[in-house]
């Protein structure tokens, strides 16, 4: 059964490249249709006073329009971060499927690592703007909403991000 609880949509922290909050983004100002749909789903899946359970990461329950634009990151037992799944639209836009790869705290993944680590530590969703290498040009701009999911003990086990790519001007 899909989560259906109705809740207010709180503003989200906006993280910089170092994974630090630099402001907020109003929920009503979230771009596109996918990011607001994912945020509504995440809020509806959250248990009172707790994060949504990892079992809520279910393609049969989630809004179907987000699935190709989704990335799922696993928190490993040692605290490392691994790309558990990369959606087909993300792989198509970036030119590579990084499923299974570790997110390292250095090099091209340093910003992603810093932001994901913030979300795990602070146990809350966030918005980030950035750019990634792209298949069809040097870089592509994007906005992402990333949100943590926990196990029954409350430990964050996954972070799901939904990406909204920005068309080049």
Side-by-side strand order, sheet with 81-86:
21-25, 12-15, 126-133, 139-150, 156-166, 70-75, 81-86, 102-103
What does the mean pLDDT of the chain come to? 90
Residue 169 has pLDDT above 60, yes or no: no
pLDDT of residue 6: 38
Q: Cα-flanking dihedrals φ and ψ of residue 126, to 5°?
A: -150, 165
Residue 53 DSSP label: B
- Among 38-42, 118-122, 164-168, which is the least confidently predicted range? 164-168
Is there a contact between 145 and 35 (Cβ–Cβ < 8 Å)? Answer: yes
> Which domains are assigned to the chain?
12-166 (3.30.450.20)
* SS3 category, 126: strand
What is the per-residue pLDDT across 39-73, written as a single tens digit (0 to 9) for each?
Answer: 999 999 998 889 999 999 999 999 999 999 999 99
Q: Which of 40, 80, 78, 75 is nearest to 56 (CA)?
A: 40
């Amino acid at each position: 059964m899909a989560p259906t609880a109705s809740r207010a949509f709180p503003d989200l922290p906006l993280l910089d490249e170092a994974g630090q909050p630099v402001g907020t983004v109003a929920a009503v100002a979230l771009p596109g249709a996918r990011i607001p749909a994912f945020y509504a789903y995440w809020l509806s899946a959250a248990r009172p006073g707790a994060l949504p359970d990892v079992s809520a990461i279910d393609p049969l329950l989630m809004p179907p329009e987000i699935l190709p634009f989704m990335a799922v990151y696993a928190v490993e037992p040692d605290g490392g971060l691994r790309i558990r799944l990369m959606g087909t639209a993300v792989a198509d836009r970036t030119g590579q499927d990084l499923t299974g790869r570790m997110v390292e705290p250095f090099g091209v993944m340093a910003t992603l690592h810093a932001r994901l680590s913030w979300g795990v530590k602070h146990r809350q969703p966030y918005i980030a703007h950035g750019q990634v290498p792209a298949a069809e040009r040097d870089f592509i701009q994007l906005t992402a909403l990333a949100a943590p999911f926990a196990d029954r003990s409350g430990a964050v086990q996954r972070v799901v991000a939904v990406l909204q790519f920005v068309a080049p001007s």
